[in-house]
Amino acid sequence: MADTNSSLTLRKLAFATLLLAGAEPASAQNSAPQPVAIASTIPQARDIAYPGTLQLDIDASNTRQGIFRVKETIPVTKSGPMVLLYPKWLPGHHGPRGEIEKLAGLQISANGKRVAWTRDPVDVFAFHVDVPAGAKQLDLEFQFVSATAADQGRIVMTSTMASVQFVSLSLYPAGYFVRQIPVQARVTLPQDWSAASALPSSTAGATRTYDKTSYEVLLDSPVLAGRYYRAFELGPRVTLDAFADSAEELEAKPEQIDVHKQLVTELVHTMGSEHYDHYHFLLAITDELGGIGLEHHRSTEIGVKSGYFTKWDEFPNGRNVVPHEYTHSWNGKFRRGADLWTPDYRTPMQDSLLWVYEGQTQFWGYVFQARSGLVSKADTLDAFATIMASLDNRRAREWRPLADTTNDPVITFRAPKGWVSWQRSEDYYNEGLLIWMEVDSILREQSKGSKSIDDFARAFFGGRDGDFGELTYQFNNVVSALNGIVAYDWRKLLNERINGVSERAPLKGFENNGYQLVYTDEPNKAVRKEVADFSFSIGITLGKTGITAIMWDSPAFNAGLDLGDEIVAVNSRSYNADRLRDAIKAAKTSPEPIKLLLKRGDHYREASISYHDGLRYPHLQKTAEADAGLDKLLQPH
């Protein structure tokens, strides 16, 4: 409930606060606006219509400095206390990731006069104002000073491209479900730019006026804009809107667009419906705009490095983000965990079902990349093997169940971790993939091959074609849907996998589906070329500036190596990755340890790694003679 104190009482409280702080009363400060006293509560969201339509005007033309200038009009119907909110708990981020620190220059006025605001001392995303008598609207002006360097956050504006995310460029009135707040937005871009969004618009000069909608839909409908643009129709209701740093990066070959078309065909065939009127892949091919992979109901924001089309064969794994984010239109947007759905962007999200939301989406992303030909089956198998090996060597599952990793978006959202193999980090993605592979294998086995996870997908995510609302679910609904396909003790299985601890990763799904994880001395193609990966031999990964990861309890760990150590020499010779690789190979037939000279800052030290099992890289080896379950899963449908 909103606080019922009168505005007079609030002004008295504000005056008392000023005196306690040693400030002068208003009469001694001429007519300077006074801070507003803070109500004891912020109104809780109610499912009632907001009386009026917000008007949002965004000037995104200052591409040199990356400054968005915002003017916003919020209708009001009464005077007194009011709270304006900046979005905090963001869909798709699963946590409180609103960039409030980049909001600057906030000024509020009514009836042509300045209105003071006070930030809530507990919820710093909330601003308290006292609406003056007779006011019909609040007029807001502020800037969003976007990142100009990577250490400030994601760069969203460059000289050739801009990511216009309404979630960062607006405030909204507290006390209402965001689906009940009408809004109309206008965006001004540089004159020669194009723009794409799931939200329809009309254009007059450099300004685009977007259709009136709800605040919820607006924030779920970002705009990608830029100087260099091409649109590719992937289906009657799906468009690939590609922007790039240069026109050359948009030269896609017909066969490259064909596999994107096939992706749409495969996914729609599997799910049996489309939960959108029209869907837009907002693809930024860029080395300047920050990378992103963020799902929306009728679009997705995808940022990839240059070469997406022009160096197609060099970056197959970089394309996985496309089927992953597209799958989210069904899994995560249409079907959403009940504790993750919130009525506004202030209510905290709970992420207990992310092993479905993200875990099954991770599963489908790899399946659909292979089915469509977007990524080859061989590359997909290598990617699976890398995931399996990484998790199977992650000792953290001995103490931390998978369920607890669903809290990571709130605990620490992708901040660097020193010992990931002992801490875990959002394992609900890839370990969720392993769980859903096991589910598929059981469905196939129990039904003697007549059922698979495709049947679950159609039953759980399908239906209601064209509906882009939300249909929530709980754990019991997942169990019930699986039992509707094949009767089994799904509750026990999922509880063990999600809430239990264990020494080994759940690899049975791949094994039951005809493949086993093996290690050979042949490098896995899924590993990035710029990385020297010895994770499964001595237990380290090296980048350009030293050791970037160490497996807990590995030979390197037990030898005392630390993150950030730079390897200067290997067996008394200057370091390079090939030399370390040769030393690991040689140690297989020698009793001598691998001797390293390490450097950290101005300090040097020696370390000896006792390891004699040679190079080990993960691969999937087929154990079945005919087409196995995994083969059938990855075949075009």
Average pLDDT over residues 543-572: 94
Q: What is the mean pLDDT of the chain?
A: 93
pLDDT of residue 5 exceeding 90: no
Instruction: Please state whether beta strands 201-204 and 207-210 pair in parallel, antiparallel, or not at all (unpaired).
Output: antiparallel
Give the model's pLDDT for residue 37. 55
| C-alpha span between 447 and 469 (Å, rounded) | 33
Does pTM top 0.85 for this prediction?
yes
pLDDT at 315: 84
Q: Are strands 279-285 and 137-145 parallel, antiparallel or unpaired?
A: unpaired
Write the CB contacts of 251 (distance below 8 Å, at least 6 apart in sequence). Answer: 309, 310
Quick one: pLDDT at residue 15?
A: 29
| pLDDT at residue 12 in the model | 33
Q: What is the pLDDT of residue 30?
A: 41
Segment 127-148 shows an average pLDDT of 97
For residue range 36-55, what is the model confidence (pLDDT) as tens digits? 555 458 999 999 999 999 99
**Ramachandran region of residue 402, left (φ > 0), alpha (ψ -120 to 50) or beta?**
alpha
Residues of the chain with CATH 1.10.390.10: 229-344
Q: What is the pLDDT of residue 528?
A: 73
- In the structure encoding, which two tokens stand for residue 258, read together? 């064909």
Q: C-alpha distances in angstroms, 235 versus 260, 370, 564?
A: 10, 19, 48
Query: What region does 606 belong to: left with phi over 0, alpha with psi -120 to 50, or beta?
Result: beta
For residues 429 and 29, the model is more confident at 429
Confidence check: pLDDT of 600 > 60: yes
H-assigned helices in 154-214: none
Q: What pLDDT sits at residue 33? A: 56
C-alpha R_g of the chain:
27
User: Residue 38 has what pLDDT?
Assistant: 53
Domain with CATH 2.60.40.3650 in the chain: 54-226
Helix, strand, or coil here: 529? coil
> Half-sphere exposure of 227 toward its Cβ, with a 13 Å CA cutoff?
14
- Per-residue pLDDT of 418-453, as tens digits, reads 899 999 999 999 999 999 999 999 999 999 999 999
Confidence of residue 573 (pLDDT cuts 50, 70, 90): very high
Q: What average pLDDT score do residues 309-327 get?
A: 95
Average pLDDT, integer, range 26-45: 59
pLDDT at position 130 is: 97
Would the pLDDT of 626 be above 80? Answer: yes
Question: Pairing between strand 126-131 and 80-85?
Answer: antiparallel
C-alpha triplet 287, 288, 291: angle, nearest 5°: 75
Distance CA 532, CA 540 (A): 9
Cα 257 from Cα 540, distance rounded (Å): 38
Taking 90 as the threshold, does the pLDDT of residue 417 lie above it? Answer: no
Burial of residue 101, with CB atoms counted within 10 A of its CB: 0-12 exposed, 13-18 middle, 19 or more buried:
exposed
Neighbour-count burial of 134, counting CB atoms closer than 10 A to its CB (0-12 exposed, 13-18 middle, 19+ buried) = exposed
Q: Which CATH class is domain 54-226?
A: mainly beta
Write the Ramachandran bin of 78: left for phi over 0, alpha for psi from -120 to 50, otherwise beta.
Answer: beta
What is the rounded average pLDDT of the residues 163-170?
98
Residue 21 pLDDT class (50, 70, 90 cuts): very low
Q: Which part of the chain is CATH 2.30.42.10?
A: 537-615
Q: For position 584, what pLDDT does the model report?
A: 97
Confidence tier at 526 by pLDDT (50, 70, 90):
confident
- The fold adopted by the segment(s) 229-344 is Neutral Protease; domain 2 (1.10.390)
* Kind plus residue range of the DSSP H or E element containing 74: strand 67-75
pLDDT digits (tens, 9 = 90+) for 66-76: 999 999 999 99
262-285 tens-digit pLDDT: 999 999 999 999 999 999 999 999
Phi, psi (deg, nearest 5) at residue 18: -60, -45
Q: Is pLDDT larger for residue 545 or for residue 613?
A: 613
C-alpha–C-alpha distance, residues 384 and 107, integer Å = 52
Per-residue pLDDT of 110-133, as tens digits, reads 999 999 999 999 999 999 999 999
**Per-position b or e across 271-280, b if 16+ CB within 10 A of its CB:** bebbbbeebb
Residue 545 — very low, low, confident or very high, per pLDDT cuts 50/70/90? confident
Q: Name the E strands within 384-478.
A: 471-473
Q: What percent of the chain has pLDDT over 90?
A: 89
pLDDT on residue 412 = 87
- What is residue 334's predicted lDDT score, i.e. its pLDDT? 97
Residue 555 binned pLDDT confidence (cut-offs 50, 70, 90): very high
Q: Taking 50 as the threshold, does the pLDDT of residue 248 lie above it?
A: yes
Does residue 107 have a pLDDT over 50?
Answer: yes
Q: Which of 31-40, 197-206, 257-266, 312-321 has the lowest mean pLDDT?
A: 31-40
* Per-residue pLDDT at 142 exceeds 60: yes
pLDDT band of residue 4 (cuts 50, 70, 90) is very low
What tens digit of pLDDT does each residue of 179-192 get?
999 999 999 999 99
pLDDT digits (tens, 9 = 90+) for 364-389: 999 999 999 999 999 999 999 999 99
Mean pLDDT of 160-171: 98
CATH pick for 537-615 out of 1.10.150.130, 3.40.640.10, 3.30.70.20, 2.30.42.10: 2.30.42.10
- Model confidence over 585-594: pLDDT tens digits? 999 999 999 9
**Average pLDDT rounded to a whole number, residues 531-550:** 92
Which band of pLDDT confidence, cut at 50, 70 and 90, is reported for residue 527? confident
First-to-last alpha carbon distance for the chain, in angstroms, is 53
What is the predicted pLDDT for the residue at 34? 56
